[in-house]
Amino acid sequence: MSTTDPVHMTDPASTTDPASTTNAAPVMNVADLVAVDVHTHAEVSAKGNVSLDDDLADASSAYFKLDGRNRKPTLPEIAAYYRERRMAAVVFTVDAEHATGTAPVPNDEVAEAAAANADVLIPFASIDPFRGKAGVRQARRLVEEYGVKGFKFHPNIQGFFPNDRLAYELYEVIEEAGAVALFHTGQTGIGAGVPGGGGIRLKYSNPMHVDDVAADFPHLKIILAHPSFPWQDEALAVATHKPGVHIDLSGWSPKYFPPQLVQYANTLLKDKVLFGSDYPVLTPDRWLADFDKLGIKDEVRPKILKDNAVRLLGLGSGTDTGTATGPEHSAAQ
């Protein structure tokens, strides 16, 4: 296990007192929410710094056919966007500074924005496993000071296998806190089309590597992000075998979901599948419009859109939070 505190990395800590924002924060009315989006990205900081260099960001935008100018909303803009739709959103940065040389949006900034917009934003953090002991201390601090509810890992751009012991002290902190470990799985648009994929290796995101983590940390709550192409069956196997493993449906329009994913979402995994958009890469409007046409049972839809996330993230009081009825959703332009 690496215990080195790399000195070349940026110190992401903020000097802002978290209590100053938390005390005045609005309260989330879970019963009034239409949906909970468990997968959104903070890609630009308040100072205008971005979490991906231009080449990787441009490749991702081209892969998803995006207008790059519209893929970098600020954290307050993300909050306003979801508030308008009566949705809550899990929001996080991706810390891959060791492999990319680019500093992430500071975790403290994400957590403070979530505290200031606690009616709609749910804070996750991201810590590069190569930060070693410093990363472990940061994870513990973020849990204690801000109550972050999860941590995002992107093995492809962080350049590590999830079952590498290098990350195990981080997982220990996350498990002890009752927080969630969310892993990117499957194909990634980051680096797609760039010569050599920008050096990004797809092998790191096979969900079978997360199976080892689930076995070694039996009480760790895990989300496998995205339909895990080309390892969809592996993801379904891990989620049906390990009680703590869930699947989010982000990053793909539902009209492209593999049929076996839809089958399992309707049956064995109906309590473990979660709505996620991957905003701003894919908007919830577009995702929900296509989800409306998907062959999901009526009784399963509210579970996927809201109820499973409420339970997993501990957003409710343990009683029936209900599922609000919202307006029709249309696809994004």
Higher pLDDT, 159 or 17: 159
- What totals of helices (H) and strands (E) does the chain contain, helices first? 14, 8
pLDDT at residue 320 above 60? Answer: no
pLDDT of residue 57: 61
pLDDT of residue 21: 43
Q: What is the DSSP letter of 279?
A: B
CB-based contact 42:75 (threshold 8 Å): yes
Average pLDDT over residues 12-19: 43
pLDDT of residue 63: 60
Average pLDDT over residues 268-280: 98
pLDDT of residue 51: 63
Please give the Cα distance from 295 to 261 (Å, whole number): 11
Please give the Cα distance from 111 to 122 (Å, whole number): 8
Please give the Cα distance from 333 to 331 (Å, whole number): 6
- The three-point CA angle 135-139-144 to 5° equals 145
CA dihedral 290, 278, 34, 175 (to 10 degrees): 130
Average pLDDT over residues 278-289: 96
pLDDT at residue 1 above 90? Answer: no
| Encoded tokens for 26 | 């609005």
Is residue 89 helix, strand or coil? strand
Average pLDDT over residues 273-299: 97
pLDDT of residue 8: 42
In the chain, what are the domains?
20-313 (3.20.20.140)
- The three-point CA angle 270-210-163 to 5° equals 165
pLDDT of residue 48: 83
> For 179-210, what is each residue's pLDDT tens digit?
999 999 999 988 888 899 989 999 999 999 99
pLDDT of residue 74: 96
Model-level pTM? 0.86
pLDDT of residue 26: 86
| Encoded tokens for 273 | 């599948």
pLDDT of residue 77: 97
Average pLDDT over residues 74-91: 98
Please give the Cα distance from 301 to 298 (Å, whole number): 5
Q: Which of 38-52, 141-155, 303-317 shows the lowest mean pLDDT across its residues?
A: 38-52
User: Helices 232-241 and 208-216 sit at what angle, rounded to 10 degrees?
Assistant: 10
CB-based contact 4:132 (threshold 8 Å): yes
pLDDT of residue 321: 43
- The three-point CA angle 60-208-191 to 5° equals 15
pLDDT of residue 22: 44
Average pLDDT over residues 146-159: 98
* Helix or strand (DSSP H, E) at 245: strand 245-248
Please give the Cα distance from 54 to 208 (Å, whole number): 31
Q: What is the DSSP letter of 128?
A: -
> For 44-78, what is each residue's pLDDT tens digit?
998 887 766 666 666 555 665 565 555 689 999 99
CA dihedral 301, 302, 308, 311 (to 10 degrees): -170
Cα–Cα distances in angstroms (integers) from residue 180 to residues 126, 128, 151, 176, in the given order: 11, 16, 6, 10
pLDDT at residue 19 above 70? Answer: no
> For 115-143, what is each residue's pLDDT tens digit?
999 999 999 999 999 999 999 999 999 99
Which residue carries 């308008």 as its tokens?
A: 84
pLDDT of residue 242: 99
Q: Cα-flanking dihedrals φ and ψ of residue 165, to 5°?
A: -60, -15
pLDDT of residue 50: 75
CA dihedral 315, 149, 286, 290 (to 10 degrees): -70
